[in-house]
Amino acid sequence: MITLEAGVSPSTVSRILNGSAPVSAFKRDAVERVLTTRQFQPNALARGLVRGKTLTIGVLTQDIGSPFYGEILRGIEDVLAKTDYFSLIVSGHGNQKDEIAGMALLEARRVDGVIVLNGRLTDEQLLAYSEHLPVVATGRGCTFRNLFSLSIDQFHGAYLAVQHLIELGHTRIAYISGPEDNLDSTQRMRGYQKALMDNSLMYDSNLVVHADFRASGGTLAIHQLLTARRGFTAIFAANDQMAYGASLALYRLNIRVPEDISIVGFDDLPSSEFTMPPLTTVRQPVYQIGELAGKAVLGLIEHQPIQVQPLALNLIVRETTRRIRP
């Protein structure tokens, strides 16, 4: 159509579109005129088919509306925006079945690489995918050839949080954990235990409650903890959202934070700066994780070495923790 109207061959149009070979100014002008008047958009499907490359990076996230994954996606997007690549996001909904379906969808669309954000696929499954597709995964440590993993020391983050509470004089510290099969959550649990141990404090399993990483789970957890009637003066929540829910439950019971009970969260969601009082928490460099993951797939795709910048967790002390009353 374009070719007819401009009186040139398809290859000439292609050459102009891609700048792949010199074209005379005359023909170029003619073609470009038609191109703009017709608002021509080259068919990405046809391109992908012939080039064997779609300039698309698949992203398997867990929850499309989550503030946590949202920030990672933003990091990925910003990195890709500087290139010709583009991200195709599918959600695994935190269950393996959907994750496998999502991966199938990405493969069917012939993405050039995949970023897998945490999730429940096994390392072996990931390795299998990486046989024919560059894969970058967060939250694990199984780098291998075409599979790049980037993990952050969750253990250490938890250790920092609990150490902080202990330094404030707390000795009875409850832990609101995530799902039992969640890797991040169990690593944080170990950090919690280690910090207690290093300070010669007893680990008491009655002070540990498993919840679901959501605010409502935090609320529930408080009720469980309270009915168990084990005294505690501080709470370490495995993520900020559960800390929110826990705070609300305490507020309802007229227990004040931080006067009566201190709380530390994990993640440092953007909103944690604006809770009341602002939440003391462990900051995950979420956006940077996204950026790094983005750069890593590109590196894998283009067979370039991947710059491994260390990602660290930091304790952000705000106003939900305070020295225990004498």
Residues near DNA, by CB under 7 A:
2, 7-15, 17-18, 20-24, 26-28, 42-43, 46-47, 49-52
For its own copies, give the closer residue by CB, 191 or 285.
285
Q: How far is the CB of 1 from its own copies (least distance, A)?
A: 13
Could you identify the residue written with the tokens 């999502």? 102
For DNA, give the closer residue by CB, 12 or 154.
12
Q: How far is the CB of 83 from DNA (least distance, A)?
A: 17
Q: How far is the CB of 49 from DNA (least distance, A)?
A: 4
| Partner whose binding site includes residue 107, from its own copies, DNA, none (CB under 5 to 8 Å by kind) | its own copies
**How is 275-296 classified by DSSP, letter by letter?**
SSSPPEEEEP-HHHHHHHHHHH
For DNA, give the closer residue by CB, 101 or 255.
101
Could you identify the residue written with the tokens 């969640």? 182
Q: How far is the CB of 19 from DNA (least distance, A)?
A: 10
CA-angle at 136, arms to 131 and 139, nearest 5° = 125
Q: Is 116:150 a contact under the CB 8 Å cutoff?
A: no
Torsion of CA 258, 260, 265, 270, to 10 degrees: -30
| Partner whose binding site includes residue 65, from DNA, its own copies, none (CB under 5 to 8 Å by kind) | its own copies
| Partner whose binding site includes residue 54, from its own copies, DNA, none (CB under 5 to 8 Å by kind) | its own copies
Cis amide bond preceding 285, omega within 30: no
Coil, strand or helix at 314 = strand
**Rounded CA gap, 79 and 211, in Å?**
34
Q: How far is the CB of 228 from its own copies (least distance, A)?
A: 23
Coil, strand or helix at 316 = strand
For DNA, give the closer residue by CB, 23 or 72.
23
For DNA, give the closer residue by CB, 45 or 312.
45
Question: Binding residues for its own copies, per CB under 8 A?
Answer: 41-46, 48-49, 54, 64-67, 70-71, 73-74, 77, 86, 88-91, 104-105, 107-110, 215, 219, 241, 244-245, 247-248, 251, 270-271, 273-278
Written as six digits, the tokens of 36 are 């703009």
Q: How far is the CB of 140 from DNA (least distance, A)?
A: 31
Cis amide bond preceding 277, omega within 30: yes
For DNA, give the closer residue by CB, 12 or 177.
12
| Partner whose binding site includes residue 276, from DNA, its own copies, none (CB under 5 to 8 Å by kind) | its own copies
Residue 29 per-residue DSSP state: H
CA quadruple 236, 239, 240, 241: dihedral sign? negative
